[in-house]
Amino acid sequence: MYSVAPHVLVIIQNLPFRLDRRVRSECRALTDAGYRVSVICPQENRDEPSRSRIDQTTVYSYPAPPESQGPLGYVREFAACWWRTARAAARVHRDAPFQVIQACNPPDTYWLLAWVWRLRRGVRFVYDQHDLCPEVYVAKFGRGGLLYRALLLLERATYRSADHVISTNGSYQAIAQRRGRVDPRRSSVVLSTPDAGLMRRGDPEPGARDQAKHLVAYVGIMGAQDGVDRLLAAADHVIHRRGRTEVRFALLGFGDALEDLRADCTRRGLDPWVQFTGRVDHAAIGRWLSSADLGVTPDPPNEFNDRSTMNKTLEYMAHELPVVATDLTETRRSAGAAARYVAGNDPADLGDAILEILDDPERAGVMGRIGRERIVGELSWRRQAETYVRVFDGLTGRAEAIPENHG
């Protein structure tokens, strides 16, 4: 047992802390439970100080390397971030010794840093698995090969190094237990559900509709594997094939495919009807989703997407938006009757489904209420937070033992 509040160090690489809704919710859960929490992450912008305070969490940020292109570029980026994180971890420990490291993937590289601190200081290691990196690689580059096998090895090393593995859904937990051979007693599921009290329908974004009758929203990363190109093709179908020029599309987010998507939008003649906002914070996301009539989850069907819970789907539901989504296993488990599902890769089907919901406001309202009720009830963050904090109570001795399985 600790005479002072146990200190948890959380490592994230793919987003600045302020923009990572899941990790911010986790850190709030820990600080509310009496833990001290520090986070290491990339800077949001060059003016951000290397040490700051957000919520009740101390944030140590480092300059992010330039965005990478291609597999070798990602390797260089991961190496640079790993080294900067290792240096920051030493600084955190000098400021206040930590007892637990939580590493959030991608990438699956911080198991080695956790081992260094375990050998030096007896620090425990929690692996918060946000993505299936081998499956992401195949979805992004369309092949396996040497780097795919290397990602499997890194994932296996992370599973085996972890004192506890947190999965974002049951599909990920099943992979941890099957592929990673993780003992169920050190495995938990913590869904990335929005906090219903913080994420809800509110004031709209000024000028979001721009006099359009309908606003369709997409929120999320814009990579080759995220299906935003498919959404643009669906918008083309809605505007040019169906002649529905009263529909406007707002695409919120960023990623390595963003510039290609902008160019595709212009090539299709969609610029008057499609707005790319770029990177936006949680407050802006809330305003845009409070302005929208419908949210879209266009991720194409593949092994990775089928097993993944899409944060955007949950955020649409929190804002009482009906959802049009690709028919994927975990999307169905999340949204249930709050979504209209589309099979296959035909953008015309996606576009027609969007119009089907927009043209039936009574049905859209029912779907939106169902989604919100799921976020408030069955999927509530309060339940997820309780499971999450119990993991750290067990590892730090604040609880006698972790229940056999939180999934």
pLDDT tens-place values along the chain, 407 residues long: 555 799 999 999 989 999 999 999 999 999 999 999 999 999 988 888 999 999 999 999 999 887 766 667 777 888 899 999 999 999 999 999 999 999 999 999 999 999 999 998 899 999 999 999 999 888 887 777 888 999 999 999 999 999 999 999 999 999 999 999 999 999 999 999 999 999 999 999 999 988 899 999 999 989 888 999 999 999 999 999 999 999 999 999 998 899 999 999 999 999 999 999 998 988 999 999 999 999 999 999 999 999 999 999 999 999 999 999 999 999 999 999 999 999 878 999 999 999 999 999 999 999 999 999 999 999 999 999 999 999 999 999 987 544 444 44
d(CA 107, CA 150): 12
Domains, the chain: 7-193+380-396 (3.40.50.2000), 214-376 (3.40.50.2000)
Instruction: Quickly tell me which residue has 């912008």 as its tokens.
Output: 45
Is residue 353 a contact partner of residue 238, using CB atoms and an 8 Å limit?
no
With a CB cutoff of 8 Å and minimum separation 6, the contacts of 11 are 39, 40, 41, 85, 89, 101, 102, 103, 104, 110, 113
d(CA 62, CA 40): 8
Determine what percent of the chain falls in helix, strand and coil, rounding each to the nearest 5: 45, 15, 35
Reduced to 3 states (helix: H, G, I; strand: E, B; else coil), residue 42 is strand
| Nearest residue to 350 via CA among 229, 215, 223, 213 | 229
* Segment holding 166, helix H or strand E: strand 164-167
Task: Answer whether 0.85 is exceeded by the pTM.
Answer: yes
| Nearest residue to 82 via CA among 35, 49, 115 | 115
d(CA 107, CA 75): 10
